A = this chain, B = another copy of it.
């Protein structure tokens, strides 16, 4: 199978490359595409070197499988043209996620949605994937009716520039003269990628705020969850927040169900859920954290407890690697599922 990565020099593109090698994805050829700025760069892969190419206007990537990870504008413009040229496209952007022609897939949750796809398959938003690894099995068992979510989202969700900005600002804040309390004193944050300082700060997610007061990220979490779970009535309210963490998202969730659910019932379901690892050690006060979720394939789930504010509801806390399961790994798993179904040539 001839594979192409579009957006190969971004944070997710680099992770895709690493995962294809690590998971010995059955490819016969790999081509890397990026913006003209990155074209010509050499990248190590499987003991050899690949040269990054500029994306051809022709739309012919010479690939059977395309991972599209260069932003929504590129996917909106090119995805179906690549399909016309014979490729299956796994789209990491938000461009086609809610399109009725396009399956929106988390392989542990709804692999059957891949059946009869039209050529483009969408990879969900990172916060959605990470939440659903825990919520989907609970939904299947108990009928999820409502979820409220507060996120703690890493800067990697804004790509390599987000990572660089957190690093730069943190160093400059620490270099500033400290207050007597030990807190950093004034420094010039010079926000570029984000509108507000991210070092030792947090802010409401950097996506557009819509008329109802929810931002795009929060809307994605609601609408994508409904589509993936095939639960059009599911009530979701999220508050999405960017925190000074490099690459794993966490989420505090309150979940309500069609029938009362006990902590023990929820625990039994989650202990058996694919892609989930329970990290819930009350005595050691050890629960899911970004540092332990980073680099892991599994989403960590803990703080599992009966919701003290509503009988039969459940509270929990999850953390997952935003770049891996939240993006690149889920995309590769979609591709692997396609291969297993012989849905890619």
User: Which residues of chain A have a CB within 8 Å of any CB of chain B?
Assistant: 11, 14, 146-148, 150, 152, 156, 160, 163-164, 166-167, 170-171, 174, 178, 180-184, 195-197, 200-204, 206, 208-209, 212-215, 222, 235-237, 239, 241, 243-247, 250, 252, 254, 263, 282-287, 289-291, 302-310, 315, 317, 323
Contacts and interface: CB of A to CB of B under 8 A. Distances in A.
Contacts of A247: 181, 183
Contact of A204 (B150, B215, B285, B308): B285
A216 to B, nearest CB: 11
Contacts of A305: 212-214
The interface residues of chain A, by DSSP majority, are classed as mixed
Contact of A174 (B171, B241, B287, B323): B171
A243 B304 CA distance: 20
A27 to B, nearest CB: 22
Nearest to A311: B235
A218 to B, nearest CB: 8
3 nearest CB pairs, A to B = A213-B305, A150-B150, A237-B309
A213 B14 contact: no
A291 B174 contact: no
A200 B315 contact: no
Q: Which of A181, A195, A214, A317 has the most CB of B within 10 A?
A: A181
Contacts of A315: 148, 213, 237, 239
Nearest to A175: B171
